[in-house]
Structure 1
Amino acid sequence: MKKLLTIPLLALLASCGGKESESTEQKNILENLTYSVDTVVVDAGDDFLSLGFRLGAFDLSPDKKELLFFQNKPLSLVTVSLDELKVLSITEFETEGPNSVGSFIGNLEAGPSPDVFIKGFNGQGIFTAKGEMIENLKIFPEGLDQKYTNDFMKIYGNSIYDFQSEKFYTQPYGEIIKDNELWVIDPASKTYTSYPLPKMKSVGDLAITFTQKTADGTMSSYYGPSAYMEIQNDQVLISGGTMSGVYRLSSQADSIEFIDIKHITVPNEWNITVQKVSSDEASFKEDRRKIAEQLNFMDFKWDDTREMYIRFGKKTFLGENRGDPSSYELYLFAYDKDFNVLGETKIAGLETIPSSYFFKDGKLYSYVNVEDELGFAVFTFEF
């Protein structure tokens, strides 16, 4: 194992005024937050890891002892021991033929066994750790208009698969639907149930596009808030950067619930207007800056050691000119299992936004590239 690199401990104090949360009437547990950061490096042995796409699609094994991710050149599944901080295996996958879903992996889910779920641009299925497809899940629900049965990505482009319920949770886009919806697709019966997601409309309403005509045709640039969907603490959570609230669906439930989370130190929703489509570059840049400087709520992560959800929020301040670095303000929020606010604070002294991050043993691991080797910034929060 390679010697671990250590960043000096940061004892940074952050306060948010000592007010109590209106949603729980509890003291703000993050009022006196301190944290330290260490950097660890994974031993790849004699192998070289291709990190051009960072971690890309990744997941943890159910026991959180292993990290699984795909590197694209060549297309290979990498398994890393998080306890030993070393690469356990690199298995090359086919990019063509019956055991392939294409040359680019869009989603990876680790199953309760060595099997994994993989989604590409051309299909999806359950694979063995050796790269053999054991179940082809490129299915289209019955009752769907036949003209959409070739639109695989419009149905599954924004989807996750749950090994526990053996169902897909997906938000189709394009002309397939008129409004924001969640589809729960059962591959066994080829049926689906749809649930409205009206609050997610704000994410699309505040996305902007710049169009420019050139000699080669029309070029478009896109910018907007993020949307998130993932399974945390055995629940499907759907949220967006524009709002504090979250949709929650239990894998065993037959209805979806919107939880209107109320913070007291930050706005709970955006209050801006933008021009959705513009051909004026100056106007587009101004709206892009306006969007970036809003508090963009990020996704939820369940910390099973504290039995609470942790969530970041960020404000991005773009550079004046193309290529100039951006600067950030970073916020941290904590919630109980029912999404009552336990704490909220602005974090000082952090220059980069956590990337491809997850909790293990109460510590937050965030991907970092250490001289072209796989590493993690490991955050220890004290509160």
Structure 2
Amino acid sequence: MKKLLAISLLALIASCDGKDSESTETKNILENLTYSVDTVIVDAGDDFFVIPYGLGRTGFTQDKGRLVFFENDPLKLTQVDLNELKLISKTEFQKEGPNGIGPYISDFQIGPNDELAIQSYVSYAKFNIAGEITENLKVVPEGIDSELANDYQKLYQRAVYDFQKNQIYTQPYREGNAEKELFIIVPQSKKVTSLPIPEMKSVSDFSRTYLTKSGENTMINFFGVSDFIEKENGFVLISAAPMSGFYRLDPAKDSVEFIDIQHQTVPNEWNITVMKEYNDEATFQEDSRKVYKQLNYMAIKWDETREMYLRLGLKTYFGESREDPSTFEVYLFAYDEDFNVLGETKIEGIEAVPSGYFWKDGKLWSSVNVADELGFAVFTFDF
């Protein structure tokens, strides 16, 4: 009788342990991911789109109803209705003069009242939708190293403007092993707040240049990894390709924290090394291949329809020679509002990198050229 009682108790304990294990086991919501792809074409009416090299930088209204981009020659602000799939308007902007942007736009953001913060290699300013400058953002901030403060390219090359807070977030370029920082610049007062973001050193750790000479000509060869600074769901998210973790800035507090995301099926950071200097092109190309075939994490985007964050990842495998095509592996990750991992998977069947992609209504839109017309491949993910 005592033996039977002991066996029954052990069975009960084992049963409870099993239920606890099942309840705490993390479910991968992307494990059985399926998707379909539709191609849509934007109606340009009597006009046509001048985008020989793709869309370039893009912006969106808050509801993702309008896509905004610039045609370059001549420079025109182009607006597309993504719900009706038709061209709304084109507005010519000036490259030179009192409202001049410069020859090329490097980045821009669109604000809630159709204001634009436009950055080029020579200027940084706010514009109205008619192409008129309303505020100069290219300020020389006070209280920092004077050489950096006066070096526009190094100070503002990774900048995002916050229309609600009227301030700029930027990662100034620092050579060598200098500490990585996030600057918060208030243009009106020229005040700067500096926040350390040491993990972003991974960008420079895996970026290299190599010079080759042919007669009097010098060619610059480069490989590097991407970093991202995005405003999503009320936060500024600062991430880099070599790591799953990222920094989150709360604009209400001007405080930054590192969030260490831990996936289960893929590496969370790179475990490779590359040379600091190169004596021959073959070794340089070998390290380049090594970097791009790692899982390169991409920007984190908020999906308001599912109330979760979505993120792509990419592995690139170069061909044996420059003439051989590259192959790719594309991954999808999902996180909840606190950045707990909800799902992770390799997307089977995608053989090309999504071009100029963005998320709208829970779907991935990738720009495509359809018989010289602007089109989008729209991926509908079911999970």
TM over 0.5: yes
Counterpart CA distance in 2 for 1:373 and 1:159 is 32
Q: Which residue of 2 aligns with 1:154?
A: 154
Cα–Cα, structure 1 residues 225 and 145, in superposed 2: closer, same or farther, change >3 Å? closer
Gaps of 5+ in 2: 1-23
Counterpart CA distance in 1 for 2:208 and 2:308 is 34
Q: State the shift of 1:175 in Å.
A: 5.5
* Contact 1:211/1:278 (<8 A) preserved: no
Gaps of 5+ in 1: 1-23
Q: Does 1:375 align with 2:375?
A: yes
Deviations 1:67-87 (A, max 9, x none): 000111111100000111011
RMSD of equivalent CA atoms: 1.7
Q: Does 1:260 align with 2:260?
A: yes
Percent identical across equivalent pairs? 56
TM-score (norm 1): 0.91
Say which one has the larger Rg. 2
Counterpart CA distance in 2 for 1:55 and 1:144 is 36
TM-score (norm 2): 0.91
Counterpart CA distance in 1 for 2:318 and 2:101 is 37
* Contact 1:305/1:361 (<8 A) preserved: yes
Counterpart CA distance in 1 for 2:158 and 2:114 is 24
Q: Which residue of 1 aligns with 2:227?
A: 227
Counterpart CA distance in 2 for 1:149 and 1:259 is 30
Of structures 1 and 2, the one with the larger relative CO (CA 8 A, separation 6+) is 1
Q: State the shift of 1:327 in Å.
A: 0.3
What is the correspondence of 1:1-383 to structure 2 with a 5 Å cutoff? 25-174=25-174, 178-216=178-216, 218-383=218-383
Q: Which residue of 1 aligns with 2:7?
A: none
| Deviating more after overlay: 311-320 vs 276-285 | 276-285
SS of residue in 2 equivalent to 1:380: strand
Deviations 1:152-202 (A, max 9, x none): 111111111111111101011145992211101111211011111111112
SS of residue in 2 equivalent to 1:310: strand
Matched to 1:76, the amino acid is K
Counterpart CA distance in 2 for 1:177 and 1:53 is 35
Q: State the shift of 1:254 in Å.
A: 2.5
Deviations 1:46-67 (A, max 9, x none): 2221112311121101121100
SS of residue in 2 equivalent to 1:256: strand
Counterpart CA distance in 2 for 1:39 and 1:225 is 30
Q: Which residue of 1 aligns with 2:3?
A: none
Deviations 1:268-313 (A, max 9, x none): 1101111132131110111111111111111111100001111111
Cα–Cα, structure 1 residues 204 and 149, in superposed 2: closer, same or farther, change >3 Å? closer
* Contact 1:209/1:276 (<8 A) preserved: no
Counterpart CA distance in 2 for 1:363 and 1:371 is 23
* Contact 2:142/2:149 (<8 A) preserved: no
Q: State the shift of 1:213 in Å.
A: 2.9
Deviations 1:71-114 (A, max 9, x none): 11111100000111011001111010110120111111111112
SS of residue in 2 equivalent to 1:337: coil
* Contact 2:303/2:309 (<8 A) preserved: yes
Counterpart CA distance in 2 for 1:114 and 1:244 is 33
Matched to 1:32, the amino acid is N
* Contact 1:51/1:372 (<8 A) preserved: no
SS of residue in 1 equivalent to 2:255: coil
Deviations 1:335-360 (A, max 9, x none): 00111000001111001111222222
SS of residue in 2 equivalent to 1:288: helix
Counterpart CA distance in 2 for 1:335 and 1:174 is 31
| Deviating more after overlay: 346-355 vs 207-216 | 207-216
* Contact 2:80/2:86 (<8 A) preserved: yes
Counterpart CA distance in 2 for 1:71 and 1:277 is 39
Q: State the shift of 1:25 in Å.
A: 4.3
Matched to 2:79, the amino acid is T
Cα–Cα, structure 1 residues 316 and 381, in superposed 2: closer, same or farther, change >3 Å? same
SS of residue in 2 equivalent to 1:278: coil
Counterpart CA distance in 2 for 1:244 and 1:364 is 20
Runs ≥4 residues deviating over 3 A: 144-150, 174-177
Counterpart CA distance in 1 for 2:147 and 2:34 is 55
Matched to 2:351, the amino acid is E
Counterpart CA distance in 2 for 1:243 and 1:148 is 28
Matched to 1:278, the amino acid is Y
* Contact 2:143/2:192 (<8 A) preserved: no
Counterpart CA distance in 1 for 2:199 and 2:71 is 35
* Contact 2:156/2:171 (<8 A) preserved: yes
Q: Which residue of 2 aligns with 1:10?
A: none
Counterpart CA distance in 1 for 2:149 and 2:156 is 11
Counterpart CA distance in 2 for 1:111 and 1:118 is 11
SS of residue in 1 equivalent to 2:237: strand
Cα–Cα, structure 1 residues 337 and 172, in superposed 2: closer, same or farther, change >3 Å? same
Q: Which residue of 1 aligns with 2:16?
A: none
Cα–Cα, structure 1 residues 193 and 177, in superposed 2: closer, same or farther, change >3 Å? farther
